[in-house]
Structure 1
Amino acid sequence: MPIKYKFDTQLLIVGSPLTDHQISEEITKKFVGDSLIVGGDADLMKIHFHTNQPWQILEYGASLGEIFDVVVENMARQEAGLKG
């Protein structure tokens, strides 16, 4: 079965105030993907999301605050035994 959303996108956001509930709702409403995990506190939040448009998640995160520790991995390449 082919991977539906090939980019595992992860980032940290420093900003205030941030809520995991608000971020989860906005990502679910605005972006296509799956495996969403959002966690943290009012000052630091981590987003993990599988999507085919990782740049959209990075732009969204940057709209909330400073982003860092950005990871975008191509899971289709990883599945094929290549560096993602």
Structure 2
Amino acid sequence: MLEYKFDTQLLVEGRNLDEDDIHDDIMTNIKGDCLLVVGDENLVKIHFHTNEPWQVLAYCASLGEIYDIVVENMERQEEGMQG
């Protein structure tokens, strides 16, 4: 059984995005692991394992436009089913 079952990935397009601030905000306020925040001040890719992907989406939507959203259930994938 996985501790965090949803692999959550998306792009955020905005202004003055700061990778370190975004990383710290997510780690402080949303339970999960395997966080990657990569990009520049206008476009950031987020990858995060969590049980509450809607919180990641809500937070990221507050930063700018979100798109290319993928939320996969890793428990289903582990059992050989589509995530």
For the aligned pair, the TM-score class normalised by the smaller chain equals over 0.9
TM value normalised by structure 2:
0.99
TM value normalised by structure 1:
0.98
Q: Residue 73 of structure 1: CA displacement?
A: 0.2
Question: What number of residue pairs does the alignment pair up?
Answer: 83
Partner in structure 2 of residue 24 of structure 1? 23
Unpaired runs of at least 5, structure 1: none
Residue 67 in structure 1 maps to residue 66 in structure 2: yes
Residue 34 in structure 1 maps to residue 70 in structure 2: no
Q: Residue 40 of structure 1: CA displacement?
A: 0.1
Identity of aligned residues (%): 58
Unpaired runs of at least 5, structure 2: none
Would you identify which runs of 4 or more consecutive aligned residues in structure 1 move more than 6 Å? none
Structure 1 Cα separation of the partners of residues 18 and 9 of structure 2: 17
